[in-house]
Structure 1
């Protein structure tokens, strides 16, 4: 470690140093200051004589000689290993310098003096004043006459006290230095124990420090990446450059970005990257600390999962459609006349295939949304027709439980653009959910309305009410989570429906709308009903021709 790497102000606060030097000056009545290795002041210049302030340091030549004198005193003190008493290189006053040593390194110098042990001859004083460019020679001599005179023994006693204080400063600095050194070592060990690669760069992207994980990731058997631009490590350097330049500092919960990286051997792999900017004490940007995690295996597994899910959902859909077609042909009588038992069972089987098809479609849409986002297929249509199709799809299940469904079309018959296939599946899911948790002989009310208000503008509101067991308020938000289920107290208690409500939320929000549940709810008569009211709204606008379009 070079001496300039240890700074006294990094070890002891400036206010503490100021207090020590000030109190020393009050006790001894001599001038004192703490200077750096170049002789420049670190603390204030305490009790400086008028000669030094107004004359010796009033010209560039004089000020340079003062700094050189303080620098000389510190250098000689290091050589002698003790306080060094000397005549200053400027006016010839007596000074003393004691170096501050930390772990064998000279970090500062405590300088005191500006006294005389005997008068300076006038001719020497005049010659000194002229050399440093003093014009007011008479004033210089009067200021020199004001300099305190003390015996050499008295000066030596003050120097001994200064030496004690310098050792105290050194002791304080060493304690802080050892504490920092221990902390840095622990930090170094911690960083090197992390399995993720940590890279520190300058603002231009030049790599300066790496941990062991980064060395293993990039440098095994190849030259180190240190002193190289980090952008050269990426398959698409400009993408990572734009990422650093265009992104704000990432918080602990931000999602990392994924990039393709190249090893020196040419082998490519994938990493998730996150970073923080680093700053100097002046708030000036210093560089970046970048964390890279190898996600190549995770990416391969994710791709395999996507391929498998896509294949399964596609391959499951075709057999279901085939079974549905055969059952429809049976019901239509194209394959012969069914007996009474067949007329009872085939509709149930067909209803089951519709449910299974909906489950597969829900799963596929949720998968597509998580992978690449759900793209809507918007065509003209209306909600009344969509609800009629959904009611027909769940009709067998409602009849089986002798449930009455009230729906009066006409309030939402105007055409608008939407993905009606997914909205029909949304309505079917909500209706099937209501039927499932309704008791035998209950009533379900379905309503669709075209509405307009200041908050939501022109929008379509769909309401499905049931008289079932209801849902606890603390579960209202969670029932839309993927695979969420409640723990039923008995077989008839409502529970989560897997992916059905998750898909409903996905489809409605893809249209720019929202979905929610009210349980219990208040009916049109102002009565509180224990069951559930599922509602969703999607925004719409009316075009010049008077048709309603989805926004």
Structure 2
């Protein structure tokens, strides 16, 4: 373990020797003791130790020495490292010498010659403790500065504008994006009140609302005129929340300013991309699958058993690719918050029967039993028929896919003001730790499941997005190797988001 150092300086060899002996007895297990007989020699020792990266805790020096007095020497020591504790040995030193050392070297202690061993020991132990505290405080300060710089770098790298108001409603922090949105420099904003800098009544009202609703996030859409280009209007969404200290006391408000125009442009580009993908990939896939269907119906001539097997396999893979493409496009749409619901009244029972008919072939191929229980008098249901059908198809297809024997059941009922949809199977089940994860994009329990059952892992994520857009709920209950039940509740006549 590395030791710290104490440097002792006196022009009388017997005093230096006495100091060294007593300090080695008192704190030799804590520090290395270095001695010098002049200030010049001591400075050489000091510089050498500092250059080696050693930690010097205390310098003890006589005041009256040839060449350089102790007070002047300690001033230089303090300039080299202000964290070193300093001590003057006073025998003949005057009051003015001590005052000089206090003022210029932040003198910590005076020891009068001759001294007592116990007094010297107590003084040195006290100063070692103070030196350790100083060192720790310095390290903490450096760490705080580093963390502050890191936090500022993160804040300035964020593309949304960030503006922080202190408890006196004055701006205490802005990032680069904020200055660009507001058209003001950091110097023009810091320390000012927002009403003194910008005419933004909506933002001021938002800050007041945020301070009154300290546990809530409040937001508003604001039209801002750029300060350097009055003709330029910027649509922004302002989101504000009260800042609280660890003990719960409010100390300001943080506001995020988001340029909606930029988001709209990104959304438009994504929509164009989705439209292109939809047309360029869906169209040839549809033609390929139609051709396979014609071949299998012998519309273009009789097929041998081997030809029929290969074409059936190709059709199956093409259908899987088509479904994967559909899921990917849906997920891209959902991630861009572009999910549009075409709300209308429709017969949910009839829709469910059509979905059941579509998957019946898959059920029969695996020798499963499909049970359907739809309440006879369901109320008029207002929702997006196509997307609700997608939820039913995804849940039923999953149930069939992961069930090798037994049954699959669909139940639709009406309880109070909600539609309840339940899909149950007797398949492989899902571990409880995966109940939330299965609704994430592309989540698969493991690679073995992916290879054995195929699929992108997007179906349940799409179901969840559609259900939430209808202000409904979806959850799962399951026991490994016994089966799984998915529950969906949908409001009968809620305003769709």
TM-score, length of structure 2 as denominator length:
0.51
Q: Supply the distance in 2 between the matched residues of 1:485 and 1:272 (Cα, whole angstroms).
A: 37
Q: Which residue of 2 aligns with 1:25?
A: none
Give runs of aligned pairs for residues 158-307 of structure 1, distance below 5 A: 194-195=152-153, 196=155, 207=171, 209=172, 224-226=188-190, 230=194, 237-248=200-211, 266=229, 276=242, 288=253
CA RMSD of aligned residues (A): 5.6
The equivalent of 2:130 in structure 1 is: none
* Map of 2:370 onto structure 1: 406
Aligned to 2:429: 470
Pair 233,382 (structure 1): closer, same or farther in 2 beyond 3 Å:
farther
Q: Which has the larger radius of gyration?
A: 1
**What's the secondary structure of 1:425's corresponding residue?**
helix
Conservation of the 8 A alpha-carbon contact between 1:469 and 1:530? yes
Q: Distance in 1 between matches of 2:492 and 2:264?
A: 39
Q: Establish whether residue 443 from structure 1 lines up as the match of residue 406 from structure 2.
A: yes
Structure 1 CA distance for aligned equivalents of residues 175 and 285 of structure 2: 55
Question: Gaps spanning 5+ residues in structure 2: where?
Answer: 1-102, 104-136, 157-161
Cα distance, 1:433–1:347 mapped onto 2, change above 3 Å: same
Residue in structure 1 matching 2:300, options 326, 336, 343? 336
Q: Specify the alignment match of 2:63 in structure 1.
A: none
CA distance in 2, matches of 1:231, 1:349: 68
Preserved contact between residue 406 and residue 443 of structure 1 (Cα < 8 Å): no
> Among 502, 518, 543, which residue is 2:477 paired with?
518
Report the counterpart of residue 500 of structure 1 in structure 2. 459
8 Å CA contact retained: 2:471, 2:491: yes
1:379-394 equivalent positions in 2, closer than 5 A: 379-394=344-359
SS in 2 for 1:518: strand
Residue 321 of structure 2 corresponds to residue 362 of structure 1: no
Corresponding residue of 2:441:
482
Query: CA shift at 1:202, angstroms?
Result: 7.5
Q: Distance in 2 between matches of 1:373 and 1:446?
A: 32
For the 8 Å contact 1:447–1:462, the answer to whether it is kept is: yes
Match of 2:486 among 527, 534, 546: 534
Q: Quote how far apart the aligned CAs of 1:272 are.
A: 8.1
* Structure 1 residues 37-116: aligned runs within 5 Å: none
Please say if residues 383 and 412 of structure 1, whose CA atoms lie closer than 8 Å, have aligned partners that are also in contact: no
Note the residue ranges of structure 1 that are not aligned, 5 or more in a row: 1-103, 105-179, 522-528, 542-548
Q: 1:375 aligns with which of 321, 335, 340?
A: 340
Question: CA 1:260/1:318 → structure 2, altered by over 3 Å: closer, same or farther?
Answer: farther
Aligned partner of residue 430 in structure 1, secondary structure: helix
1:121-145 alpha-carbon deviations (Å, 9 max, x no partner): xxxxxxxxxxxxxxxxxxxxxxxxx
Deviation at 1:530, TM superposition (A): 0.9
* 1:421 counterpart = 2:380: no
In the alignment, the residues of structure 2 paired with residue 252 and residue 503 of structure 1 have an alpha-carbon distance, to the nearest angstrom, of 31
1:422 Cα deviation from its structure 2 partner: 1.7
**1:212-232 Cα shifts (integer Å, max 9, x gaps):** 969986899897345766468
Q: State the secondary structure of the residue aligned to 2:188.
A: coil
CA contact (8 A) 1:412 1:460 kept: no
Q: Shift in Å at residue 447 of structure 1? A: 2.7
Measured against aligned partners, the alpha-carbon deviations of 1:500-535 in whole angstroms (never above 9, x if no partner) come to 1111222233333332332239xxxxxxx7122333
With over 3 angstroms needed to count, the CA separation of the structure-2 counterparts of 1:363 and 1:496, relative to structure 1, is closer
